[in-house]
């Protein structure tokens, strides 16, 4: 192993910069050369590749976003482009590539590994939706950003005795919604994993809570459920309680990463390089049962993850 490259792909996440920094510096510390690929798999196909030195990653650990840029690259799902990308890696002397992104990005890494390029994945997504790991870079920051925003909405909705529906991100996963639901004390949490919710039950819950003396009613709605604005109209019509929807949106993807995100990103970035140096190929780094570990890409992509029923129940119990 002589030269490795690093790229960020899919949706950006706070802490990606800390991971890039750790990959670059660990590799150089261990005597390797490192290249940075701009804008995900797009940049690889366009040969948007730069040499990385330790000072290129100075002063970025505290920054949100990704200094390498990221993109979705639909072409990369096609084998001819995957082959082209592997040829480009060979042309630039890249023996291994570290991909920081979500499970879509892991599929791209898997494709590259099938073309003979050693690819190692690092879980970078605010959604926490990667099955092989209990932790993904960006989740902690996103959930804290959302929690703080929701506290603010909750203040005003209590003053006005409103019902608030707040839609948080997470694509098809409900982890941000579940965490905010518990951390913000939401009365109802709507998760895509649990798509059997019944609007009439929510309406009854609001009316009942009012009778028990609650002056606000906070509903956290996961992105995967959607329709927050129309839901607010229906709920207001059915309950007579003024109901507003707030869609938090992209603010959840930005901002300076928390200490937790910086810490895990740093360890995972270093680990990605070190497992390559140990001779391991086509792996993804993860954190499971309290330990940093790694899995084969194929195995990781076959694993399933679900919302813990007990944790969801706790959220319900605590809103009596
Ligand atoms: P997030 O969920 O946080 O947005 P992600 O990595 O899952 O991150 P995707 O948009 O699903 O985001 O994937 C990112 C990129 O990975 C895609 O634009 C594409 O270039 C590549 N990719 C996704 N799926 C495949 C696949 N089946 N084969 C090859 N490449 C893929």
Query: What digits encode the pLDDT tens for the residues 71-116?
Result: 999 999 999 999 999 999 999 999 999 999 999 999 999 999 999 9
What's the mean pLDDT in 204-230? 94
Non-local (6+) Cβ contacts of 73 within 8 A are 9, 40, 41, 42, 45, 108
CA pair distance 220, 222, nearest whole angstrom: 7
CA 168 – CA 73 distance, rounded (Å): 25
Cα 244 to middle of ligand 1, angstroms: 34
- CA-nearest residue, atom 6 of ligand 1: 102
What integer pLDDT is reported at residue 197 of this predicted model? 75
Residue 104 Cβ contacting ligand 1 at under 6 Å: yes
For 233-276, the pLDDT digits (tens) are 999 999 999 999 999 999 999 999 999 999 999 999 999 999 99
Label residue 68 by pLDDT band (50, 70, 90): very high
Per-residue pLDDT of 125-143, as tens digits, reads 999 999 999 999 999 999 9
Residue 32 to residue 248: CA distance in whole angstroms: 42
Q: What positions carry a catalytic annotation?
A: 127
Tell me the DSSP string of 91-108.
HTT--EEEEEE-HHHHHH
For range 7-14, the mean pLDDT: 97
- pLDDT per position as a tens digit, 21-44: 999 999 999 999 999 999 999 999
Residue 108 Cα to ligand 1 midpoint, Å, equals 7
Indicate the pLDDT class of residue 70, thresholds 50, 70 and 90.
Answer: very high
Tell me how far the alpha carbon of residue 238 lies from the centroid of ligand 1, in angstroms. 41
250 known ligand binder = yes
Residue 230 neighbours by CB under 8 Å, 6+ apart: none
- Nearest alpha-carbon partner for 35 in 6, 60, 57, 59: 6
73 lines ligand 1 (CB under 6 A): yes
- The gap between the terminal CA atoms of the chain, to the nearest Å, is 59
Does residue 316 register a pLDDT over 80? Answer: yes
Handedness of CA 295, 299, 302, 303 (dihedral sign): negative
Q: What is the DSSP letter of 127?
A: T
Confidence of residue 174 (pLDDT cuts 50, 70, 90): very high
- Examine the pLDDT at 195 and tell me if it is beyond 80: no
Q: How confident is the model at residue 194 (pLDDT cuts 50, 70, 90)?
A: confident
ipTM of this complex: 0.92
Ligand 1: atom nearest CA of 72 is: 18
CA distance 209 to 219: 13
Q: Which two tokens stand for residue 33?
A: 């050369």
Q: Is the pLDDT at 201 greater than 90, yes or no?
A: yes
Percent share of the chain, pLDDT over 70: 100
Distance 11 CA to ligand 1 centre (A): 9
Using the predicted structure, report yes or no on whether residue 319 has a pLDDT greater than 90. no
Pairing of strands 243-247, 188-190: unpaired
DSSP 255-278: SPPPHHHHHHHHHHHHHHHHHHHT
CB 4 within 8 A of CB 96: yes
For the cut 80, the answer to whether the pLDDT of residue 212 exceeds it is yes
Running DSSP on this structure, what letter comes out for residue 3?
Answer: E
Which residue has the CA at smallest separation from atom 12 of ligand 1?
10
Most confidently predicted of 4-13, 193-202, 208-217 = 4-13
Mean pLDDT of the chain: 96
What residues form DSSP beta bridges with 165? 219, 245
Find all residues with CB under 8 Å of 79, minimum gap 6, and list them: 111
124 lines ligand 1 (CB under 6 A): no
pTM: 0.95
Query: Which ligand 1 atom sits closest to the C-alpha of 13?
Result: 3
What is the predicted pLDDT for the residue at 277?
Answer: 97
């Amino acid at each position: 192993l002589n030269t490795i490259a690093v790229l960020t792909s899919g949706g950006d996440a706070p802490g990606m910069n800390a991971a890039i920094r750790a990959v670059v510096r660990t590799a150089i510390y261990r005597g390797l050369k490192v290249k940075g690929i701009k804008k995900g798999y797009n940049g690889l196909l366009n040969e948007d590749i730069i040499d990385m030195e330790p000072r290129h990653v100075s002063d970025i650990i505290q920054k949100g976003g990704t200094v390498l840029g990221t993109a979705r690259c639909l072409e990369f799902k096609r084998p001819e482009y995957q082959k082209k990308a592997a040829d480009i890696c060979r042309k630039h002397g890249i023996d291994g590539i570290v991909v920081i992104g979500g499970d879509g990005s892991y599929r791209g890494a898997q494709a590259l590994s099938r073309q003979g390029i050693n690819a190692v994945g690092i879980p970078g997504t605010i959604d926490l939706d990667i099955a092989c790991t209990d932790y993904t870079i960006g989740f902690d920051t996103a959930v804290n950003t959302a929690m703080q925003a929701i506290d603010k909405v909750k203040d005003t909705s209590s003053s006005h005795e409103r019902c608030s529906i707040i839609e948080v991100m997470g694509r098809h996963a409900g982890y941000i919604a579940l965490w905010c639901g518990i951390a913000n004390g939401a009365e109802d949490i709507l998760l895509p994993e649990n798509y059997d919710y019944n609007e009439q039950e929510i309406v009854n819950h609001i009316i009942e809570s009012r009778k028990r003396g609650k002056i606000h009613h906070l509903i956290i709605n996961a992105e995967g459920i959607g329709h927050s604005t129309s839901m607010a109209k229906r709920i207001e019509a059915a309950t007579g309680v003024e109901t507003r929807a707030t869609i938090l949106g992209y603010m959840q993807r930005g901002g300076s990463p928390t200490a937790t995100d910086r810490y895990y990103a740093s360890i995972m970035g270093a680990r990605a390089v070190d497992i390559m140096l140990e001779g391991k190929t086509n792996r993804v780094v993860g954190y499971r049962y309290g330990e940093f570990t790694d899995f084969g890409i194929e195995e990781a992509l076959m694993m399933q993850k679900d919302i813990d029923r007990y944790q969801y129940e706790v959220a319900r119990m605590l809103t009596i």
